[in-house]
Amino acid sequence: MTTSTLKPPLGGNPAASSGLTAWAPPILWIGLMFVLSTSLFSAANTVRVIEPILRWIAPAASAATIAMLHGFIRKTAHFVNYGILFWLLIRGPMAGRPYAALGLCVLQALLDEGHQVFVPGRTASIYDVALDSSGALFSRFLNAAIAEPL
> For residue range 10-35, what is the model confidence (pLDDT) as tens digits?
444 544 455 789 999 999 999 999 99
pTM higher than 0.75: yes
Tell me the domain boundaries of the chain. Answer: 20-147
Distances (CA, A) of 113 to 47, 76, 142: 20, 16, 25
DSSP state of 41: G
For residue 7, pLDDT over 70 is answered with no
CA separation for the pair 9, 6 (Å, rounded):
9
Percentage of the chain modeled with pLDDT above 90: 79
CA 5 to centroid of chain Cα atoms: 34
Cα–Cα nearest to 131, from 71, 63, 45, 47? 71
Q: Are 119 and 39 in contact (CB under 8 A)?
A: yes
Percentage of the chain modeled with pLDDT above 70: 87
CA separation for the pair 51, 130 (Å, rounded):
26
